[in-house]
Structures are given as structure tokens and as C-alpha cells.
Structure 1
Amino acid sequence: MVTNILHEGGELLMLCHRIPYPPDKGDKIRSYQWVRALAECCRLYLVAFVDDPRDWEYAPRLREFCAEVYLVPLKPYLARLRGLPALATTAPITTAYYRDKRIAVWVEELLKRRPIKGIVVYSSAMAQYVSGHCFKRSMAENCRRIIDFVDVDSDKWRQYASQRRGAMAWIYRREAKRLLTYDTAIAQEFDLSIFVSQAEAAFFRKVAGLEIEPHFVTNGVDHLYFSPDPTRASPYPSGRAVVVFTGAMNYWPNVDAVCWFTAQVWPSVREQMPNALFYIVGSHPDAKIMALASDDIVVTGRVADVRPYLQHAAAVIAPMRIARGIQNKVLEGMAMARPVILSSAGFTGIGASDEKCVLLAENAAEFAKRTSEVLLGSHAKVGKAARDFVIKYFDWEQSKKHFVSMLTDITPDS
């Protein structure tokens, strides 16, 4: 039976593993767009964890367009301890990390007191509250469940394992296996599964052994916000050529990418351009990143506005070695009309033309060559072509329309 869960202002529940505001990092950017899209066409109930104390101030912003917002604090160190017992079971650590009785109770009570027609789960860790024995159909008769996996997170753990040895490698390999098993079961149980790109959806179908390929809705970029502005002042020292990396700097793939670049690429770039600077721009820089700070490497920490750092950089880099899905940092750099130099891992799901819209580099020598060329004035047309490309193919308004359209025509196992 086809179900339109948005018909006549239906009521929806959305569960997020992290508060979807402010939209200042990858997962929060996408979840925020879904919240806004759903809130415009239905009565939306939102539940999420808050893992950064500074984000509590944004709760009133979410309540402006949600019927109810239920937020629960998550302390990472306690969550890690909560996840450890999972090692003695067949469950993934991820679900134990995000397990909280308060959310379970709130969700159960909401489903009893409100005529919820649809449930949107953002990140599979939150599916535990509306799946299996925890979800009783009698509580939400005819309720459809949609999950946005975004990326194949289990494969990130496999990639993490390849970078580690000993006990940690074993733990990461175990998590990759257990999480894939869990995600496969969720995909089979829910009415609709979504990923961030066709490549990601096809990859999940392959590794999960599914008969039907999941759907996908691509990310977008706010190209009106991320737009060059001639009146925007530069944050950089005058007369210095700057290379910039942006992203949350306590996120392992970002830390790995930056540490690799500074060790394997940056010395060669400095030989070509002695006055060049490398800026690492992003919140929560960990000890490894802070240790990189020097005369030619600047670690900013969290900044109020990343756009000046993108606009006035000679080059934006994304030397990702561990990645899945689409890198928002790449889309933002392209939208700001900057040459983006990136690895194949950072390029996945974007599909732009090499040397026309982006500059691909597969190893340290290629990264050094490409970066030096840009700093010396080559590839001057790449930035404009990059902006034109993301405006055409990565527009949030189109992605939101696509997402909402899926919810108006759901059949079980669609």
C-alpha cells in the first residue's frame, strides 16, 4: 500500500544522533536541511543528543519550527564507557554508545499520545529506539519508518582498522562487522533507506547483500551563503600565499588527512614557495593538530565564519585517506570559487571533471605538484568552474524537494 505520510499536515518524529543546529559540520548540515524541509510540510517532533555544551544555546532556534524538541546531553567519555560492555555481545559498540533510557521513554510516550504517521531516523545508531522489540506496531499503527544512513559507516571502521595495530585494530574490525550486520537488519526492517550518493547506495547494497538498491539524496551547498564577496576582509597576513583545510579537528579522518599532508606534502610545497602558509581551520583541534603549529602552520580552532578563510586562500585541500560519502568541505570550497585539491577518497560522490572543476591528486608527489602549481598561479579558471558546477548539481533546495517527495510515496520495502 502506498502511503503519503505528509498528507494533510501529518505528524512526524525525527531522531538525530546530534542536535541538527548550528549547521556547521557535515552531519549537522544535512540533518538541519531535513528538519527544515519536514517542518514546512508537517508537525515535526525532534529528539537528539547534545554532545557539545555550546550547542544548548541553539535549542530555542529549533523550537521555532518544531512542535516539540527533546534534547538529551551526551558526554563522550561516559558514552565510551557505556559502549565497552558491547564487546562481550554481538552488538556494535555504536548502538550502546547512543543508548539512553530517557530517549526510549520519551519516544514511547510520544507514539502513544500523538498520531505519528512517519518516523525519520538520521544515523542508524538512533534506529534502536524505533526498531525490533523496542518498537511495537500497536503504538504507531500504519507508521512508516525511513532511515537516512548518509554514509556506510561500517566501512569507515574497516578503514580505521587498516590504520591501527593490535587491540585497537581488532576492535575496529569487529565494529565494522557488527555495525554492517546491524545496518543490514535495519535496512530490511524499515520502509525506506537513503544514502548520500548513488555510489554509496550501490556500495551498501553490495556489502550488505541486498536484492534492492537503496535510494539516495545528494547533499547540497548553500551557494548564496558560500559565495565570494569582494567586501569580505582577509584573515591572512598580507603577501602570504595560503593553503587551507577546514573541518572538525577532533574527527579522526580530518586529523589523519592533515597530519599526512604536513608530513608528506607540505615540506615540498615550502621548497617551491618559502613564504607559503598552511591554515588548519576547525573546532576542537586535538593534541596532534595543536602540535603542528609553527611559523608556517597556523591552527585557528573554531572560527565564527569559515568563509573568509576559504575565499582568501590560494588553494583549499582535502587530502582524505579515510572517507565515505560526500565531503561538505569540498562542496563549500568549490562554492567559494577556490581551486580544491583533493584525493580520490575526498572526490567520491561529487563527479566533477578533473583539472576543469577540481584538481585530483593520488599521492604525496601529486599533491605537492598540484598545490605548488596553484600557488604559482596555474589553474586560474578552476575556481569559477567549480562554483558553476556545484550551483548546477548540488543545490539544497533541489535535494530537499527530492527528500520530501520520497516521503509522499512510500511503499513497504520501497
Structure 2
Amino acid sequence: MNLIAKNWDLIIIDHLESAYACRSSNSPVVYISHNRESTLISQKIPNAPSWIQKILTAWIDHYEKKTVKTVNAVITISSDEANWYRLFNSLVIILPPTFNSTVTPVKPRKDGRLRIGFLGGSKWKPNRDAMELLLLHILPLSQRPIELVIAGSDWSMPLLQSQLQKSIGDDRVALRYMGYIDDINKFWTDVDVFAAPIANGAGVNVKVCEALSNARPVIAYPHAMRGLKGIDQSFVFLASNPIEFAQALDSFDFAAITNNPPHEFTPSYAKSKLSDLLQTIISRF
């Protein structure tokens, strides 16, 4: 293969399966990890027998450890997973997902409602669970006028409206469904705060990272913030149950909205971290 035959200055592999292609290369290798793959087996094949899941988990865990030991550096988006990688490799950097786009200014509010953003399609179970939490358990406890702005495919608005009507029974909460949108800026410009009542799923929540990259404050369950440590607390409001989540919505101050995202979620931060990493590899190799 070309990766093995040629003497590259640097090889960057994206995802675990790419490691096989450069197993015999003499060039330095950087492994970009999106998740610890061995933790995702039950999520990727939920209907497989448990014994098959256990075998695959053990095999991938072994291959993952071997890969991390042999590469020159690891880039991970998760501070939690970085601790595991450092057991096998001393050069690990944390680089949250960064979206190279201009921060979208918030449109003025017409009716004073707090506009809560929800991003994701209904086919993914963690999204369905989060939507159910919002409509049936969180929003009924909030006392302020709210507009829930939903972007994502396959949601049934009649069903969502019916659930909301049963749980609240008045017009204090309005729903607006944007469907699947090609231009995500159209979503962010109509959102004051991003809601992430995520209680399950694996890995870093990329939607939370996208909200922070767009300088939108996030109200979230702790699970939604897994792997994201040390973020400016003026952007993140944690709630451990529906009551605390509703209280965070009620106390949210529009003054918390800014056009300046946390430093860790800016392109300049990513460029600086990558530049430092490359210099370190060059000096060692």
C-alpha cells in the first residue's frame, strides 16, 4: 500500500479502522479518536446477543490499546477518554469539535419568549428520550413563556403538539419545527439557549459543542457534558433533574448571550493546539 511504501512526513489516521493501513509504516502517525470504539458496541448492534457484544468489545478494546501504544500521538475530543489514552501513550491532546463558521447573531425577539433550541432527528433514541423529557417533564414546570425551536428530520409535529397539550394545556409554550435544514445558521439565529437534557448515549455530544462554537449558552444534564471539562461556566448551566432544568430556564438572563464563544471552541485555539502538537512530533522523530 502507498501508506507503507512511501516515506511520509506525517500520517494522520481518522477513526480506529484506519490504523491497519499504516501498521508497518516508518512515518510518524497521529490517531484522531472520535470515541473509544470499544464502548460503543452495545449502541451500534443493540439487537445482537450479549455474548457476541462481549466478544467484539474485548477484541476492539485489545486492538484499540495496541493502536494507541504504537502511534506517535492521539487527538481526542473527550477529556474523559484522554485519561484512558494516557495510560498507553504520553502524547495525547484534547481538541473539542470546532466549527469553522462565523458566530450567528441572535435575531431580536418579537414576543419576549425564551427561544430554546433542540437539534437532532427523531430516529436516534437519545434524541427521542430528550424530547420526551422536555415536553412531558421539564417544560410543564417552567413558568416563563417559551418557544421550542426544533431542527432535525422525522419529527411528527401533530404528535409533539399533542404531547405538549396534554402536559401543559395552555399556550405558554410554543413549538416551531424547522425540519432538516441545510443552512444551520438559520437555526442558531433563532435560538437564545440550547437545551441538552441528554441522559444516555456515548461519547462527546457534538451538538453541545456546536452550540458553544456558536456562542449559545447550554442548559444540560451532566451526561450531555461528558468529556467537556473546564468550559467557561457563563456558557454552561447544569441540571440534574427536570426541576433544576426548569429552574435554569426560568432564571436564564438574556444578557448571558454573547457573540464570543469559549476560547476552546474557536478555530484559532484548534490551530494553535495542532501546531504545538506537530512541532512536538517533529522534535521527537
TM-score (norm 1): 0.54
Going from structure 1 to structure 2, the CA distance change for 1:323 and 1:395 (only over 3 Å counts) comes to farther
Work out which of the residue numbers 262, 265, 272 in structure 2 matches 1:401.
Answer: 272
Look up the equivalent residue of 2:138 and give its one-letter code: V
Q: How does 1:208-287 map to 2 (within 5 A)?
A: 210-219=87-96, 221-222=98-99, 225-228=102-105, 241-247=114-120, 250-269=123-142, 272-273=143-144, 276-282=146-152, 284-285=153-154
Which position in structure 1 is the counterpart of 2:169? none
Identity, % of aligned positions: 20
Counterpart CA distance in 1 for 2:39 and 2:255 is: 35
Counterpart CA distance in 2 for 1:357 and 1:175 is: 39
Which position in structure 2 is the counterpart of 1:43? none
Going from structure 1 to structure 2, the CA distance change for 1:173 and 1:365 (only over 3 Å counts) comes to farther
Which position in structure 2 is the counterpart of 1:200? 81
Going from structure 1 to structure 2, the CA distance change for 1:339 and 1:149 (only over 3 Å counts) comes to closer
Which position in structure 1 is the counterpart of 2:63? 182
- 1:320 Cα deviation (Å)? 2.0
Counterpart CA distance in 1 for 2:194 and 2:223 is: 15
For residue 227 of structure 1, give the secondary structure of its aligned residue in structure 2: coil
Deviates more, 1:220-229 or 1:303-312: 220-229
Look up the equivalent residue of 1:351 and give its one-letter code: G
Which position in structure 2 is the counterpart of 1:124? 16
Q: Is the 8 A contact 1:157 1:172 kept in 2?
A: yes
For residue 245 of structure 1, give the secondary structure of its aligned residue in structure 2: strand
Deviates more, 1:176-185 or 1:214-223: 214-223
Q: CA RMSD in A?
A: 3.7
| Structure 2: gaps spanning 5 or more residues | 163-173
Q: Does 1:148 align with 2:15?
A: no
What does the per-residue CA deviation read over 1:6-62, in whole Å, with 9 as the maximum and x for residues that have no partner?
A: xxxxxxxxxxxxxxxxxxxxxxxxxxxxxxxxxxxxxxxxxxxxxxxxxxxxxxxxx
What does the per-residue CA deviation read over 1:163-199, in whole Å, with 9 as the maximum and x for residues that have no partner?
A: x7x8566655554443322211211232222212443
- 1:266 Cα deviation (Å)? 3.5
Going from structure 1 to structure 2, the CA distance change for 1:397 and 1:241 (only over 3 Å counts) comes to closer
For residue 9 of structure 2, give the secondary structure of its aligned residue in structure 1: strand
How many pairs were matched up? 271
Which position in structure 2 is the counterpart of 1:308? 186
Q: Is the 8 A contact 1:122 1:149 kept in 2?
A: yes
Going from structure 1 to structure 2, the CA distance change for 1:196 and 1:370 (only over 3 Å counts) comes to same
Look up the equivalent residue of 1:145 and give its one-letter code: V
Look up the equivalent residue of 1:129 and give its one-letter code: A
What does the per-residue CA deviation read over 1:188-228, in whole Å, with 9 as the maximum and x for residues that have no partner?
A: 232222212443210344xxxx3544501312545761231
What does the per-residue CA deviation read over 1:332-380, in whole Å, with 9 as the maximum and x for residues that have no partner?
A: 33344433201112223142354x3321111222222222x05xxx433
Q: Is the 8 A contact 1:198 1:215 kept in 2?
A: no
Q: How does 1:317-332 map to 2 (within 5 A)?
A: 317-323=195-201, 326-332=204-210
| Structure 1: gaps spanning 5 or more residues | 1-107, 132-136
Counterpart CA distance in 1 for 2:63 and 2:284 is: 17
Q: How does 1:335-374 map to 2 (within 5 A)?
A: 335-348=213-226, 349-354=228-233, 356-371=234-249, 373-374=250-251
TM-score (norm 2): 0.75
- 1:325 Cα deviation (Å)? 5.1
Q: Is the 8 A contact 2:69 2:88 kept in 1?
A: no
Look up the equivalent residue of 2:94 and give its one-letter code: V
